[in-house]
């Protein structure tokens, strides 16, 4: 046997068929790559290392709580960048401004009435944010109509306090014609009231805010108990009726000296739709830690809670209130849990495509190799059937020539080593058919056509 023929046969008897591997492997690889690409479309990018929040005026509740959020987020490697503002109205404008960096903000319920907020979502109610009406005078007041003719600090432009104060004063017939409405709020309003520059002050915030706390202890300053509180709660759905119990601020001094009826909007955490879901979850965990404790107006664990007075509830927030902290974050650090949560999407093509491909690709490869041998078996069977039916149809030489063509094709079949047993079996069957031809056909060509 020549070296050339030996090399040719060795080439045909490889351990595998490169052609069949490519025929089966390339489509399988393309399908798998396509599956991973499709899965990758559902993987959100890693959360940023910082988050912008718009809080409120210095000394106010929003600023205090934003600082507490900052401390919680810092433990998880996220920097909360606080941007002070005039209040709720300005916070809302920042969220709606596509040029602004603000991603989340503290917003007073009722602020967004009539504003298109389709790009914003509520992350829930955080706490009651009572309206406090402080005033000076010997006479006890319990209705806003009694403030006619007085100088009233209703909060600065852009604040939720101002919007709520004007709303309630208007309902009581008090406007710029019947009273002096001044754009003063926060600690500036406290100074104005104590300096007798105004007669009454509207403040919105928790009892822990610096402005409210200062006036609760201020000499000569009274807190109005609203006799129309229930009516306000019915007329304005974003308001709730609250009672500040006697002595709840300071039992030693008996502050307040009687039960005080208040109305309260809800402090709402609002996020822009572009806020990363992982940061939303982390921020909700911070809110749960900060606002979950008991207070004068709330029971332990009452806040934060699902709420959507002005904005639709975020799907991420809805899942949080139903299921709590994400499963992985209960056992792993935030960054590790988030990484695994993002990467788990890539397991979909592994189980949906890779495992079936690994199961069926070898069978398909085997079928392709065997099919070439089976095809020659078909030709051989057809030739044998013709010889059995009409051996005289061709001469012995012609029958053998047909058989030789089949045998020549068999020698040229590229067959991996794992399938050579089939090839040798086929060659043995060729010899059987050759013996049949020699036995049943004449040596001379038949006269029949």
Instruction: Give the tens place of pLDDT for each residue, 322-340.
Output: 988 887 788 788 777 776 7
Question: What string of H, E and C letters represents the secondary structure of 358-423?
Answer: HHHHHHHHHHHHHHHHHHHHHHHHHHHHHHHHCHHHCCHHHHHHHHHHHHHHHHCCCCCHHHHHHH
* Helix or strand holding residue 272 (H, E): strand 266-272
pLDDT recorded at residue 328 = 74
CB neighbour list of residue 54: distance below 8 Å, 6 or more residues apart = 83, 85, 90, 91, 94, 95, 102, 104, 105, 106
Class of the CATH-defined domain 47-126+267-325 = alpha beta
Return the minimum-mean-pLDDT range out of 12-26, 34-48, 193-207, 223-237.
Answer: 12-26
Q: Bridge partners of 272?
A: 120
Does position 189 have pLDDT exceeding 80, yes or no? yes
Does residue 267 or residue 433 have the better pLDDT? Answer: 267
pLDDT recorded at residue 8 = 47
Return the minimum-mean-pLDDT range out of 61-75, 120-134, 357-371, 398-412.
Answer: 357-371
Taking CA atoms, 420 is separated from 131, 372, 417, 433, in Å, by 91, 12, 5, 20
pLDDT recorded at residue 163 = 92
d(CA 100, CA 97): 5
pLDDT recorded at residue 3 = 57
pLDDT recorded at residue 42 = 63
130-264 has the same fold as 47-126+267-325: yes
Taking CA atoms, 175 is separated from 240, 267, 355, in Å, by 24, 26, 74
CB neighbour list of residue 415: distance below 8 Å, 6 or more residues apart = 12, 13, 17, 369, 372, 373, 422, 423
Taking CA atoms, 383 is separated from 406, 431, 438, 444, in Å, by 10, 13, 13, 19
pLDDT band at 305 (very low <50, low <70, confident <90, very high): very high
d(CA 111, CA 155): 14
pLDDT band at 443 (very low <50, low <70, confident <90, very high): low
- Annotated domain spans of the chain: 3-37+347-440, 47-126+267-325, 130-264
| Whole-number average pLDDT of the chain | 85
Taking CA atoms, 225 is separated from 68, 132, 185, in Å, by 31, 9, 20
Average pLDDT over residues 207-217: 90
DSSP secondary structure letters along 297-362? S--TT--SB---SSSPBPHHHHHHHHH-S-TGGGTS-HHHHHHHHHHGGGHHHIIIIIHHHHHHHH
Does position 192 have pLDDT exceeding 90, yes or no? yes
Does position 286 have pLDDT exceeding 80, yes or no? yes
Average pLDDT over residues 71-100: 92
Q: What is the pLDDT of residues 143-185, one digit of tens each?
A: 999 999 999 999 998 888 999 999 999 999 999 999 999 999 9
Strand ranges (DSSP E) for 11-142?
Answer: 50-54, 79-83, 104-108, 120-128, 131-136
Average pLDDT over residues 404-416: 80
pLDDT recorded at residue 15 = 47
As a CATH number, domain 130-264 is: 3.40.190.10
This prediction's pTM:
0.67
Torsion of CA 288, 294, 296, 302, to 10 degrees: 50
The H-assigned helical ranges of 250-304 are 277-291
Does position 425 have pLDDT exceeding 50, yes or no? yes
């Amino acid at each position: 046997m020549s070296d050339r023929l030996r090399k040719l046969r060795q080439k045909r008897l490889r351990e595998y068929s490169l052609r069949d591997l490519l025929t089966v492997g390339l489509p399988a690889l393309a399908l798998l790559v396509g599956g991973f690409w499709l899965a990758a479309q559902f993987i959100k990018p890693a959360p940023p290392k910082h988050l912008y929040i718009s809080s409120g005026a210095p000394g106010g509740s929003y600023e205090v709580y934003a600082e507490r959020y900052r401390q919680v987020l810092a433990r998880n490697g996220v920097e909360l960048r606080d941007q002070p503002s005039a209040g709720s109205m300005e916070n809302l404008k920042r969220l709606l401004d596509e040029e602004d960096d603000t991603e989340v903000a503290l917003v007073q319920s009722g602020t967004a009435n009539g504003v298109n907020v389709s790009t914003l979502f509520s992350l829930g109610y955080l706490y009651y944010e009572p309206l406090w009406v402080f005033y000076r005078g010997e006479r006890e007041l319990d209705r806003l109509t009694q403030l006619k003719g007085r100088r009233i600090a209703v909060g600065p432009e852009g604040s939720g306090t101002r919007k709520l104060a004007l709303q309630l004063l208007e309902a009581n017939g008090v406007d710029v014609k019947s009273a002096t409405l001044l754009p003063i709020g926060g600690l500036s309003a406290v100074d104005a009231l104590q300096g007798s520059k105004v007669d009454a002050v509207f403040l919105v915030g928790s009892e822990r805010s610096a402005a409210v706390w200062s006036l609760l202890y201020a000499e000569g300053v009274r807190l109005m108990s609203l006799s129309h509180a229930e009516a306000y709660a019915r007329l304005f759905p974003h308001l709730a009726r609250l009672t500040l119990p006697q002595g709840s601020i300071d039992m030693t001094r008996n502050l307040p000296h009687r039960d005080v009826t208040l109305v309260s909007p809800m402090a709402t955490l609002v996020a822009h739709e572009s806020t990363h879901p992982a940061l939303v979850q982390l921020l909700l965990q911070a809110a749960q830690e900060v606002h979950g404790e008991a207070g004068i107006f709330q029971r332990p664990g009452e806040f934060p809670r699902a709420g959507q007075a002005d904005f639709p509830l975020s799907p991420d927030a809805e899942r949080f209130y139903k299921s709590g902290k994400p499963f992985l974050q209960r056992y792993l650090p935030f960054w590790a849990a988030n990484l695994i949560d993002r990467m788990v999407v890539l397991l979909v093509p592994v189980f949906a495509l890779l495992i079936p491909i690994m199961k069926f690709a070898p069978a398909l490869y085997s079928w392709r190799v065997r099919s070439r041998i089976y095809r020659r078996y078909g030709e051989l069977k057809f030739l044998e059937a013709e010889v059995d039916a009409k051996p005289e149809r061709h001469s012995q030489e012609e029958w053998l020539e047909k058989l030789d063509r089949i045998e020549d094709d068999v020698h040229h079949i590229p067959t991996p080593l794992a399938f050579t047993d089939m090839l040798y079996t086929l060659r043995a069957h060729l010899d059987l058919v050759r013996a049949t031809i020699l036995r049943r056909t004449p040596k001379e060509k038949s006269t029949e056509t």
